[in-house]
Amino acid sequence: MTLRTVDAVVIGAGHNGLVAAAALADAGWDVVILEAGTEPGGAVRSAELIPGFDMDLFSAFYPLGAASPVMTSLDLENHGLRWSRSPTVYGHARSSRDESAPVVHNDVADTAAALAEYDRRDGDAWFDLFDQWTKIRKPMLDAFFGPFPPVRAAASLARTLGAADTLRFGRFMALPARVMAHELFRSEAARCLLLGNAMHGDAPSDAPVSGAMGYLLTMLAQDVGYPVPTGGASKLADALVSRAGKAELCCGSPVDRIDVTDGRASAVHTKGGDTVFVRRAVIADVSAPMLYGSLLPADAVPRRVHEDLRNFEWDTPVVKVNYALDRPIPWRSTSLSGAGTVHLGADDDGLVRWLTDLTTGVLPDRPFMLFGQMTTADASRSPDGTESAWAYTHLPRGVTDDASADTVADRVREVLEEHAPGFSGSIIAEVVQRPSDLMAENGNLYGGAVNGGTAQLQQQLIFRPTPGLGRSETVVEGLFLGSSSAHPGGGVHGAAGMNAARAALGQQGPLGRIRKKVTSSLLELVTRDREEP
């Protein structure tokens, strides 16, 4: 057993925890990172699951990481990170009969020209959409990834667009994905490019604001592409560890509990018996249910927060199938051969049917999936002439058993065979990651949920993770939530970790004490127990 005292403890060495540690270390704080696993990275890790084939275990493509102001500010290229990109960014096969699947090219003119072949008006619409994006890119990214509320970013956006266009853009961002796609484009091909990206979240395509995810990922695809770390996802984690500098990383140190003294986080205890006393802050890169339900004393959390957490909603469980293939994939639509990311299994209407299955607890007969051609994106991932690939899809909400996961994995292979005749014969080996496997590897991925909680409107902004301020500060003084359960949610962008670190730093000094008092008063106002009649 060891006893020590530091300025800050970061619980969890996922990418958000490492970003937070880097920011605190940059400010001169003495920081210890306590990681339960044997290596850092959280959901940003890779391994040779099959000899000779490097495979990303969780996240794989990083448009958010390449564009996020947080990640770009860390200058990770000077810490060994190198990005690789596929010849084309992504594509969407509308059905197994699709022989001309639409794709996004690396050059906007090429994408527009390709879409014009489906409908001339869609080429013009793509140009117009991307032209607007280039004008509002900075305030939009600042709004998405900065702390809530994004006052400065919103003001900058309004100045750029003007009052009339700001009002209409606000309506546009509130649209359901299906409505947004139909308002923007005339052809199903162009619509599917946006709709497939909207499915990276777990909001139904007819839900308000579900179009925002599709819009963001589609514009980033044309802007920065869908890059991958050269050599595997762990190379990104390695760069973040290097960037964290003097912060001390302790792997194999699962946290047992957080002490709260006089309303303040005062110490962190590991299951191995070590105790780290804290002078300034604890930043938790763990899920909200784990933080409030397991790590904190029950009496340190208001009853209303416990009640709110009973309504906490996880995102839909994930099934991931990793493939080692002895040849490139024989797509029926040759346009998909150069795409690092492929969406397939459903067209516009098919996505509605797939989402209905997930909502009603039915295992989809034809799963919609995200498919990654990793060797196409990064030649170092497997031997020449082969392909390291994976498919990623969802189970119905609350369905996490291994048998259901295996059933869906079999159906994934059937869909792939329909889109690429001969695919099954090219499989050297496959490894299925079920919800139980994902959670065993990373406790934050509860039930195979990878987003830290649903991305639907009822659990975003001031409702994330529970009704409150939408900020990283918690009801315990000196304790900050810096995981994907906090605003702005899932994805490898580092914003939750950086927002937590900046909030902790912002509470120092005379102005910081005032800021802390105001925030604490507001938190007390929105979390105090309801009065008994």
Q: What is the 3-state secondary structure (H, E, C) of 262-312?
A: CCEEEEEEECCCCEEEEEEEEEECCCHHHHHHHHCCHHHCCHHHHHHHCCC
Of 16, 141, 15, give the one whose Cα is nearest residue 498. 16
At 35, list the tokens: 């990681």
pLDDT in the model for residue 528: 78
SS3 per-residue string spanning 409-448: HHHHHHHHHHHCCCCHHHEEEEEEECHHHHHHHCCCCHHH
Residue 220 CB partners (closer than 8 Å, separation 6+): 63, 64, 66, 67
Please write the tens of the pLDDT for every residue from 206-234: 999 999 999 999 999 999 999 999 999 99
**What pLDDT shows up at residue 533?**
47
pLDDT in tens, 447-487: 999 999 999 999 999 999 999 989 999 999 999 999 999 99
Cβ burial, residue 511 (10 Å; 0-12/13-18/19+): exposed
Q: Helix/strand/coil (H, E, C) string of 192-210?
A: HHHHHHHCCCCCCCCCCCH
Distance CA 441, CA 47 (A): 12
Question: What fold is seen in the domain 3-45+234-312+451-527?
Answer: FAD/NAD(P)-binding domain (3.50.50)
Give burial (CB, 10 Å; 0-12/13-18/19+) of 297. Answer: exposed
Q: Which fold would CATH assign to domain 85-105+225-230+313-448?
A: Polyamine Oxidase; Chain A, domain 2 (3.90.660)
- CA–CA distances in Å: residue 13 to residues 180, 418, 427, 455: 37, 40, 34, 23
Give start-end residues of each CATH 3.90.660 domain in the chain: 85-105+225-230+313-448
Rounded mean pLDDT for each run of 10 residues along the chain, 533 residues in total = 91 98 98 97 97 97 97 97 98 96 98 98 98 97 93 95 96 97 98 97 92 97 98 98 96 97 97 97 98 96 94 96 98 98 95 95 96 98 98 96 98 98 98 97 95 94 92 96 97 97 93 86 82 51
* pLDDT recorded at residue 522: 86
Cα–Cα distance for residue pair 522/250, rounded to 1 Å: 35
**CATH 3.50.50.60 domain range(s) in the chain:** 3-45+234-312+451-527
Cα–Cα distance, 138 to 73 (Å, whole number): 13
For residues 71 and 90, give the distance between their C-alpha atoms in angstroms, rounded to a whole number: 22
Cα–Cα dist 229/62, whole Å: 8
Composition of the chain by helix, strand, coil, percent to 5? 45, 20, 35
